[in-house]
Chain A
Amino acid sequence: MTAYLLNLAQLAAIFGLLAASLNVLVGYGGIFSVAHAVFFGFGAYAGAQIALNVTPDVLLVSAAGGLVAGVLSLALALPALRVRGEYFVVASLGLQMVATTAFTEAEPVTGGLGGLVGIPPPQLLGFSLASPWAFLAVCLAALFGGLAVMRLLMRGSFGRSLMALRDSESAAEAFGKNVALLKTLAVALGCTIAGVAGGLFALQMAFVNVESFTLDQSVLVLAMVIVGGTGTLAGPLVGTLLLLLLPAALSFLPGIPPTEIGAVQQAIYGLAMALLMIFRPAGLAGRAQGKR
């Protein structure tokens, strides 16, 4: 039981970081990406390759994940600069679909459908982190470190310019903000942190395959941000906890056959998304009558 709870806590910290990183794009930048699992995946595959071939050091693995995801985030920044609104959502959907196929087909790097197996237990500067408590501490440190960085940046000039851009692109431009640079940086920041989360995820699971980086996962992360509340620091964490605990709670409920839990869980969060948008679009942690 303790092992199960520890595992859940580690996942919650990793997904909390992932959801918070998507919040930089969606909540602060107004860049509505449904391709976030792609960058989580880039980070996880890069991290897994480093762990398998070089060293399973947490710092190196997550740095590699962040670097790869950050560089490749240009694939998302390009359409973000060209179009916005519905068009961008469609573009990111397209990116997600192409990336899922690429993950499945690029077997030498990603292991295809079989995935990459046998990732060694994590280390930190030579010390083993095989104990779940130690790795949980690392995950929590990454989560709070990431949140601190985001809070600092979003409170400062960068975050304020970004929010101005979200609320009115032409007004921000009229104030002399460099719209292209701000958008590119926001995408790079969000995707880099997603890559770091991906690296941690690879170490946590000791196994990665394409199933974790599909459209469903992107939507789940998006749901975490939205259910919690976009553009707030606590929102993504609240959403992550709710959506991660949901399947765990469902498995204790009587009357649902275990094979249907996945579908029932999906139906519940789909319903939650739709109802929240109708009755409380700012999310659970958001202001009830927000300005937008």
Chain B
Amino acid sequence: MLLAQLLISGIQTGLLYALTAAGFALIFGATRIFHFAHGAAYALAGYGFVFAVRAGWSWPLAALLATVLAVGFGLFMDAFVYRPIQRHTGSFFTVFVAAFGVVIVVQSGIEIGFGRAFVAVTSPLTRASAVLPGLYLARAFWIALAAAGVLFGALGLFLARTRTGIALRALAENPDLLRAYGLSARRLSALAFALGSALAVPGAVLGAATTGLSPSVASHVMLVSLAASVVGGIGSLRGAAAGGLVLGIAENLVVSVLDTQWSEAAGFVVLFAFILFRPRGIFGAALAR
């Protein structure tokens, strides 16, 4: 029963990781920018939500504020950090260092504003009820499941059926041809950043309402989305989602064998193994070495 319980909580964590990682993959797929600061969008959304709830806002309004913060951050990074850098060098390391710098700024800003300790909003969502003897399910699980189902379904439809969605996929495949067809690569990349950052919101809001947030969540989420994308295959949305699910489950299942301190490291052992033995991931196409 313990195993089933761990599996359930693994799926809950994994679904939220999957959404966040899919946001990262969407941005990378469309713009070829390794958005290392994706975790900062998550942190901003989560802390914005906590702030709003504490100020007495209703939950939907607070979630809206979280979305606005995440999307605004994504657009800011695109317009004021990545684009100026790509104008002169475009070396990936320059992009990485700049994004990492922004993560540090966000993280220490949160530390100054909210302190180093965990913050959370109290909610009835974590109250678990027994579905089977010894097996407990909290309402947060169903919300995570519903959010992941709805958002992945909507995203899939959007990318497959709408003109804008098809243009986004075209941007990933051939930006020059896209420009030749008279579409604006700049506007599409801004859209990718907005959508991708918004995908971090459900994880952030549910994280704030269940496990709580700490300032280091920005780097933790960044690592998780990177790891999920690599495990799944970089740039593949489906891969990132699968990778996120695998990581979430691995983190929780490892608790049945080892101490809880190892749960984060377990994800990275999986990641390390993938990089050594199958760098292109589960769904990845051929890798440019």
Contacts and interface: CB of A to CB of B under 8 A. Distances in A.
Interface of A: 26, 32, 78-79, 82-87, 89-91, 93-95, 97-98, 101-102, 104-105, 215, 219, 222-223, 226, 260, 262-264, 266-267, 269-275, 277-278, 281, 292
Interface on chain B toward A: helix, strand, loop, or mixed SS? helix
Contacts of B269: 94, 98
A260 B112 contact: yes
A97 B223 contact: yes
A281 B223 contact: no
B94 A281 contact: yes
B93 interface: yes
B148 interface: no
Given A101-B265, A267-B105, A278-B85, A95 B272 contact: yes
15 contacts: A32-B93, A32-B96, A82-B279, A84-B289, A87-B230, A87-B234, A90-B271, A91-B271, A93-B268, A95-B272, A98-B268, A105-B261, A260-B112, A266-B111, A267-B109
B108 A278 contact: no
B39 to A, nearest CB: 12
A267 B108 contact: yes
Interface residues of B, number: 46
A292 B89 contact: yes
Given A79-B275, A263-B109, A266-B105, 16 more contacts: A78-B276, A82-B276, A86-B34, A86-B96, A87-B234, A87-B279, A90-B226, A91-B271, A95-B268, A263-B111, A264-B112, A266-B111, A267-B105, A267-B109, A277-B97, A278-B85
Contact of B100 (A26, A87, A273): A273
A32 B96 CA distance: 10
Contacts of A260: 112
Contacts of B89: 281, 292
Contacts of B275: 79, 82-83, 87, 90-91, 94
